[in-house]
Amino acid sequence: MGRLSGKTAVITGAGSGIGRASSLLFAAEGASLVIADKMDSVNETAKLVAEAGGKAIALVGDAGEEAFVESLIGRAVSEYGGLDVVWANAGISGGWTTFDEQDAAFWAEILRVNLIGAFLAVKHASRHMIPKGKGSIICTASVAGIRSGAGGSPYSASKAGVINLAQTSANEFYGTGVRVNAICPGLIETGMTQPIFDGARARGNEDKIGQLNPLLRGGVPIEIANAALFLASDESSYVNGQAIVVDGGLSSSHPVVRRKR
């Protein structure tokens, strides 16, 4: 029996990176999936899941639009007869821009996708989970939401909001059995961070990627997917309202010059 056998899961941002790795892992562990992304590549993810013997329905849409999120959740319930896990993983970075280059519209779009999108997933998932008395909702935050230095200002603010959303909504669902947690990835090689990795490789200093964390490397999507699998499974039944950091130890220290032992 897989760790998610008999469970129905929804994953957004599933067209690549962390979302694709998680879709493959969740399906391998027995979950029936409804996956979404704004890019058509989500269909390729569904194909990969099917080729591996899993079940996945792919939908293309905007995870920051309420009508789409509601339909996504509804499709999982109507197709599989219930809802056990929702991972609000979709997000955008906005790149690195100075305050002078930013405006209210730029901030609003990042907050809409990253924070309001997570809120919408929590809202519509909980409506189906509360009557059952259980369910796991996971939101993708970031180490950028903990402190400065891991992303631009609007991105970091949006991810700080996601961490707080996990905490406040977990308490909003007091006594319902519905759990809400966040995952805070560090530097993971995905489409969002690819320019960092590609630039380092082009300069011949790939060995410096992740040099600020004790493991001296960047992460890969499956390492975040493994954390999400734990939160999605019954193994984390007493974990609620938490921000689980998966960053190689980066956020455990203040900036300091280190030497290898």
**Residue 38 lies in domain:** 8-189+220-243
Cβ 154 vs Cβ 107: under 8 Å: yes
pTM, two decimals, is 0.93
User: CB 44: neighbour CB atoms within 10 A?
Assistant: 15
Please check whether residue 122 lies inside any domain of the structure.
Answer: yes
Whole-number Å distance between alpha carbons of 34 and 29: 15
pLDDT of 201 strictly over 80:
no
User: For residue 75, what are the contacts with CB-CB under 8 A and spacing of at least 6?
Assistant: 34, 57, 59
193 pLDDT band, cuts 50/70/90, is low
CA atoms within 13 A on the CB side of 182: 31
**What does the pLDDT read at residue 256?**
73
Whole-number Å distance between alpha carbons of 87 and 27: 14
Structure-model confidence comparison of residues 94 and 244, the more confident one: 244
Please check whether residue 201 lies inside any domain of the structure.
Answer: no
Please check whether residue 146 lies inside any domain of the structure.
Answer: yes
Least confident window among 12-26, 28-42, 76-90, 195-209? 195-209
Cβ 117 vs Cβ 64: under 8 Å: yes
What residues are paired with 32 via a beta bridge? 8, 55
Please check whether residue 37 lies inside any domain of the structure.
Answer: yes
Q: What angle do CA 171, 66, 241 make, to 5 degrees?
A: 20
Domains contained in the chain, number: 1
**Tens digit of each residue's pLDDT (9 = 90 or more) over 153-190:** 999 999 999 999 999 999 999 999 999 999 999 988 77
The set of catalytic residues is 155
Q: What angle do CA 250, 253, 257 make, to 5 degrees?
A: 95
pLDDT of 213 strictly over 90:
no
Please check whether residue 20 lies inside any domain of the structure.
Answer: yes
Please check whether residue 258 lies inside any domain of the structure.
Answer: no
Sign of CA dihedral 154, 159, 160, 161: positive
pLDDT of 209 strictly over 80:
no
**What does the pLDDT read at residue 244?**
98
Cβ 241 vs Cβ 181: under 8 Å: yes
Q: Which domain CATH number covers 104?
A: 3.40.50.720
